[in-house]
Chains A and B, each alone.
Chain A
């Protein structure tokens, strides 16, 4: 990014990244809901990162004397049907959920953005072919597509991430294509091409940095969708496999003990809700902050 705007012809749309960052932060600071969302995300990320060093029992450590025990001083969130500490499984589950959410979006961005940029930049048959395939994949409901991929790839967290990533790809193709079509007619891009800058450097220096803001917003919102999708697949038994913890799989177990141990169902769902809410609030805030029409 540091070499992103070295060409003199760069117009107002090509703001220096540092200026853009401080402008975005300035706007974001005035939105309490976005800050609250960001704080929620940071808390869960820190829990996920520091899970191995926190003073909690291992996620599969079993206390057979404490099966389905209600929250207590010893077990602040209670235990599950195998006598495992729910707090520990919740914290380790955060790692699986956040990792799945982020990796899925990275897959979707890495596949979708280059394809979208190529379609928008080259036009013609390339655009027509990519667009038709994208439209077709967009016509398959997201979860059904993820279930179909996961079904054929086999149940595991890695396959769930691939399935969710591939299912989210069409959205990024469409977004990157539309943005590229809009940006490629800008004066600074025309000037760069007239000055003899090659295709790849033009794409790298002038197109990608200028289509980035809406992609960042979409990526933030898609992390939220991907976390719910991972939880859904794990809930159905198509994601994280036991004994490794995942919030969705924990809810799947919990539904069999709703009368005897309702706390088993409350915490994992609350965690999914809070982290997804965090990403949605942050995404909404970023969208407003990155929108040039907002003052």
Chain B
């Protein structure tokens, strides 16, 4: 198992290298002189030359890249132009907020998507199956920022049940924190629930046709036991790995959800950075999100091996 994880980590290195080159080159694509943007109103040639030296802009591109990667490996992703704070500190402050949102969204998605997938597979070809499929496809088609607006209109504006926006740290007031995150998590989890429903349905349909399920039924076991104990346990193997994979997608989905509900997380950080032309922050967020996504992929592969004993021996 350790050698499998080691191999996957080794394979990830060239991918991370290509991403780092891409993120570095993004800034070089910018039109105009970056020093003029850094200097603001200051146009004194000596100041501009000093800034050029400070940011090593006179160095060849390869040297600039090596310097940037060296700093990134030490956790230094540059300084935010807007707040003058290190980008790493800014991201570390926002990460727990988005992580809490993503975890709550995952709980919603699993709680809705998996039972719906099981029901749909067990009742294949019935109205329940058609409705579940239509709901799932609708979940994949609905823009989550629109769903967010509709929920705010209904739950906050009309019914007054939950706050329309805002954030409270879990460590300060857990109840209030969960309350403010309920709607955003539901909105973020909808598409994931729909995807999980489709995966669960498909996996369950395959498993329900297998010999061991037929044997279990032939033994006279109750249908409930056959489905929950024999079929679901095996059908969940691919579903669990897909969940780990989709968790990475949640980080990206959080961009819009955080914008609607004014949650000061990772997604809002990148949007604010884009509008403030704070490119060091944009680079940092893209780099860290992508590396996080790669590690979620490795976790998904590892979980697949852990949960599937047949693969454990061949890995």
Among B143, B252, B271, B282, the residue within 8 A (CB) of A272 is B143
- Minimum Cβ distance to chain B for residue A122 (Å): 19
A258 touches B157 (CB 8 A): yes
B143 touches A273 (CB 8 A): yes
Bound Cα distance from A281 to B285, whole angstroms:
34
Task: How many A-B residue pairs have C-beta atoms within 8 angstroms? Tell me.
Answer: 131
A151 near B: Cβ within 8 Å?
A: yes
The total of chain A residues at the interface (CB under 8 A) is: 45
- Interface with B: A17-25, A55-63, A133-141, A205-213, which one? A133-141
B30 near A: Cβ within 8 Å?
A: yes
- Minimum Cβ distance to chain A for residue B147 (Å): 8
A255 near B: Cβ within 8 Å?
A: yes
Give the chain B neighbours of A251 by CB distance below 8 A: 143, 145-146, 149
B150 near A: Cβ within 8 Å?
A: yes
Bound Cα distance from A132 to B255, whole angstroms:
27
B128 near A: Cβ within 8 Å?
A: no
Main secondary structure of the interface of B (DSSP, over half): helix
A144 touches B255 (CB 8 A): yes
A238 touches B19 (CB 8 A): no
B138 touches A277 (CB 8 A): yes
B149 touches A258 (CB 8 A): yes
Bound Cα distance from A141 to B191, whole angstroms:
15
Please name the residue on chain A nearest to B282 by beta carbon. Answer: A151
Residues of A within 8 A of B (CB): 33, 132-133, 135-137, 139-145, 147-148, 150-153, 224, 228, 231-232, 235-238, 248, 251, 254-255, 258-259, 262, 265-266, 268-269, 272-273, 276-277, 280-281, 284
Can you list 28 residue pairs at the A/B interface with Cβ under 8 Å? Answer: A132-B15, A137-B22, A139-B15, A140-B293, A141-B248, A141-B252, A141-B289, A143-B256, A144-B270, A147-B255, A150-B274, A151-B273, A151-B279, A152-B26, A152-B27, A152-B29, A231-B143, A236-B256, A237-B275, A248-B143, A251-B146, A258-B152, A258-B157, A259-B157, A269-B146, A273-B138, A277-B137, A281-B137
Residues of B within 8 A of A (CB): 14-19, 22, 26-27, 29-30, 134, 137-138, 140-143, 145-147, 149-150, 152-153, 157, 248-249, 251-253, 255-256, 259-260, 270-271, 273-275, 279, 282, 285-286, 289-290, 293-294, 297
